[in-house]
Amino acid sequence: MPIFPTTRLRRLRRTEKLRELVQEVSLSPNDLICPVFVEEGIQAKKQVKSMPAIERLPLSEVVNEVDAIVELGIPGIMLFGIPENKDNEGTSAYVEHGIVQKAISEIRKNFGDKIVIMADVCLCQYTSSGHCGLIKDGNVDNDSSLDTLSKIAISQARAGVDVVSPSAMMDGQVKSIRDGLDNEKFSNVAIMSHSAKHRSNFYSPFRDAAECAPQFGDRKTYQVPYTNPREAMREVETDINEGVDIVMIKPALTYLDLISETKRRFNVPVSAYSVSGEYALVKGAAMQGWVNEEDMTHEILYSIKRAGADMIVTYFAKSAAASLTR
């Protein structure tokens, strides 16, 4: 390759249109998935204190929220439910009249196929323990949790979901859910698993949003240690072998290497979840006037795309979509 002064890399940075012409990574609202929190038994929106501009919605507000998301050109939502009652078995996660099931039905009735409806499949919001699996003899019991996770996915499929998204990190959860869906004639419902969901400090604001902090212990026995990249790849490979349709790396910003490695190794769509702590850090700094929120949001989302993510679940979805289309 010729060297300076023959080679001048700044030539192609000279004007805005030149820079646009040679831009290598693109980002648009089509790349984004917007989380939506819906809470049972409330009549008005509730602000999530640790996540500025994020709200828990009553069922009556879900259609208005999704309408705004559709208008911004965002193709998908991820539903999270906060039930009125919790119990040891997490039964409100899979009952026909559960809060997520009702929300799915309302969205499907009002929007048809104008939005991809995704829904979280986990137990932490629904169990009195706050853990992602059922408790047996004081421990999170993997195998007894699988049937319940399958019941949740089937109940969401009956309500009209497009994609179920298991995040419990139980071994065998994808196979159990795929078998359950297929047995109930829901073979067209896709699975986007939180395949490499790491034990992370970046989840704290979400636990405030979804009221799902564990009541004892922690989640070290089922979430991936952030020190173990090979283990994360084994989780991804296992989900692919069990029939997953889309894999996920979670969190995103501090795991760009794993997003890139997943994209390099596997021929499967890759999602990344830019989690609540990533959002709260930027919002907090922006509220102090220390950073420009829009510029920093764009840089973060572009970096996740650059690493190899095909789609990004982000709490910045609405604001990013609005700014990207201005």
In tens digits, what is the pLDDT along the chain, a chain of 326 residues? 789 999 999 999 999 999 999 999 999 999 999 999 999 999 999 999 899 999 999 999 999 999 999 999 999 999 999 999 899 889 999 999 999 999 999 999 999 999 999 999 999 989 988 888 898 888 888 999 999 999 999 999 999 999 999 999 899 999 999 999 999 999 999 999 999 999 998 888 876 665 666 675 567 788 899 999 999 999 999 999 999 999 999 999 999 999 999 999 999 999 999 999 999 999 999 999 999 999 999 999 999 999 999 999 999 999 999 999 98
Give me the pLDDT at residue 131, please: 84
Whether 14 contacts 55, CB under 8 Å: no
Closest CA to 304 of 264, 250, 252: 252
Rounded Cα distance, 151 and 159, in Å: 12
| Catalytic residue flag (residue 114) | no
Estimate the crossing angle of helix 142-159 against helix 173-183, to 10 degrees: 40
Phi, psi values for residue 118, rounded to 5°: -110, 150
Whether 82 contacts 99, CB under 8 Å: yes
Q: Which two tokens stand for residue 48?
A: 């999530």
Reduced to 3 states (helix: H, G, I; strand: E, B; else coil), residue 238 is: helix
Give me the pLDDT at residue 308, please: 98
Please, what are the domains in the chain?
28-324 (3.20.20.70)
Longest dimension (CA), the chain: 72
Residue 102 buriedness (CB in 10 A; 0-12 / 13-18 / 19+): middle
Residue type, position 58, single letter = P
Rounded Cα distance, 49 and 10, in Å: 45
Give me the pLDDT at residue 201, please: 86
Catalytic residue among 86, 151, 250, 283: 250
Give me the pLDDT at residue 204, please: 81
The owner of tokens 């939005």 is 115
Give me the pLDDT at residue 211, please: 62
46, β-bridge pairs: 56
Please give the DSSP secondary-structure letter assigned to residue 258.
H
Rounded Cα distance, 275 and 33, in Å: 12
∠ CA 310-313-318, nearest 5°, is: 110
Q: Report long-range pairs for 176-180 (Cβ below 8 Å, ≥24 apart).
A: 176/146, 176/147, 176/149, 176/150, 177/121, 177/149, 177/150, 177/153, 178/242, 178/243, 178/244, 179/150, 180/150, 180/151, 180/153, 180/154
CA 2 to chain centre: 45
Catalytic residue among 151, 197, 283, 318: 197
Closest CA to 28 of 308, 306, 302: 302
| Catalytic residue flag (residue 263) | no
